[in-house]
Structure 1
Amino acid sequence: MTLRVNGKVVTPTGVIRQGCVEIEGDRIRAVAEYPSVRDGHWIVPGFVDMHTHGGGGHTFTTGEADSAREAAAFHLRHGTTTLLASLVSSPFELMRDAVAAFRPLVEAGVLAGVHFEGPYLSAARCGAQNPEFLRDPSTEELSQLIELGAGAVRMVTLAPERDGALAAIKLLTGHGVVAAVGHTDATWEQTRAAVAAGASVGTHLFNGMRPVHHREPGPVVALLDAPNVVCELVADGVHLHDGMLCFATSVAGPERAALITDAMAAAGMPDGEYELGGQAVTVADGVARLSEGGAIAGSTLTMDAALRHAVAAGIPMSDACRMVATTPARAIGLGDKVGSIQIGLRADLVVLDDDLNVVRVMRAGSWLD
């Protein structure tokens, strides 16, 4: 049975104003103009969030499978059809237990993989990461996690200035795991060395990084300048000024700029007291900060809200859709499966009204409702 979805279809090459997407089974069979369509909704690719710690009151950071299922389901209702479960800095035992708990969810397609944001990070740029758990990269630990995950470990964020970082990057990329640079006080030269070793993602660019200086450009400039690096951006108006969001996008282009949520459990929940990596977090007016010290502690963002924010900031709709789907999918090695409305790819669609609010979500050819 062929299913047709009509509207303003956003494809990798632009917008088909009078468009139709044909779905057969769980795949996109055709994308074409459909002249009889007049004022349809936006039809955009299912969002791909390569960096999220939880949502809807549930978290990935404790390594509990039930909580992970609920967090993934929350984000799915907001149009995120593919996501990585991001952990924060923690003891090796928790990292190992999380891989064991999440591997069946990856195999079942609930999660696209596991992302370790830490613990191999800079103490000077740890942000809301728990300094108690920070340490130098360990190829022994990473080898165990990769073997245990059997493909479930998809990305690891580390600081390239730490001892053993370049060896860790080479180990990761040699096993098909994305190495990301983040929470770092690295110099421009150290960051370029990490990229040369195989690092291909900049974790929430600007945040948790040595700032740009005209005599010491630091990691931000090195990452923006690297043609093979995808730069994550948190488009919530808190992590980045809209001017910086648009500037970074203009430099990297939508093919190297990926919107992420960096969401924590408080996404979609009321203001109040929460926890992240063993540290108390206070959410006020939707902004999450450590209760002690006030560092930004992830976000309460969803990908549909990130898309709305980016478009309102002046990023064209077709570019913004690449940034919430196509570019992150490619960054984590899934661009041949998901991330765009293209023949042969999995039928993941989000229907949006003219205000870019979610009307309906399709994953693998089935409507969520």
Structure 2
Amino acid sequence: MLLGPYLHEPIKTKKNEIKPNKKHTTSIVRTSFFSLNEIQISQRILKIPNYSRYFAPVLKNSFVNLAEIDDENFERCEPITEENSHILLTRLNIPGSQSFSDVFYANRKKSSELGENIIKIKITDKTNKSYKMDNINTIKERKEFLKLINSYKHLLESANLLNNANIVNMNFHPSTLVFRDNLPVIGSFEDCFHFPTMNEERKSNLFSDYKAKNVFLPLEAHVICFLIDNRVDSLSFLNIEEICEDCRRRVASLNCFSKAFLDQYKETSLFSLQSLTNKPKHLIINEMLQNCATWNNYGISTLFLVLLRDMFKGREGFPQHSFFSRFSQLLTLGIHPIPDKRPSILQNISLFNDILYNTNKQDYDQLISLFARLSGLL
């Protein structure tokens, strides 16, 4: 399931354009399950202490009559009904915010050009090459590396807050994140749910579309989507084989793993789902949802596996350095096909801190140098 629509662009009129002010931004979206769901989830987010450090929820909302707003084009406005009514959403303004893509991908071309200049310096100025290289790279290398580390830690903290509130985010796609003060803020809650209040309406909307290529959803969520989208009352063994083959293709699309790993991943998926054969639909869905506490970590792990892949694009696997080896292993564990094998958010935070604390100064200096030399995003 590719997880519902994102917020539409604000609907602007000649006289009544909705513009951001210093404290807030506003937008108009169509009334739908997803826009109403975002409002409901936002109400829960607002109860989290210091929420604005991690989230950008809807602060206020109100229904609007477009016929009144678009006063110069009244004849083009349809009567307001349940099908075409709209909601005005108000959020905190984030001055100078950047997208995930801007933060980690925008400088890729520039870095390539910088690399060519550095090569010229090394060839033409043998006497001072070490000094010049240090001056050019040291600050940028450390800054970019720390941005990666701090972004991951900050999202883990965000996920821990969501877990404490029993909220599951099914869409950690980069487009849902904005950066404020060099830290990622979750800015979309349309595809979230509050587990204790999950009901049939929410299930039927949130899991309505089986999108086999959606890498941010774990195997269990895809099982639910398959059942609801295909309107089947149970799963045959052939259905389970199809779901697991789709799962293999989905993980393969990350371009991070060997064929042997992918084959084993599929076999493990089959093993984890085989007990579902011919079980009633409602029992399967309830069983799959019992594991949703691991889904936030699954989405974040996928996000950073893709980011590391793009950083070291063109290489066979991740760099042979203890930090990247352990980090990639931790991320891979976060997308394990068996939910019980995935670390909890708190375990994940502890394991990542262990990786950082066990990186001594010499290893850290080597790591920065390796990161700058191999990364395509600096």
Which protein is richer in strand relative to its size? 1
Q: Which structure would you say has the larger Rg?
A: 2
User: Could you tell me the TM-score, scaled by structure 2's length?
Assistant: 0.27
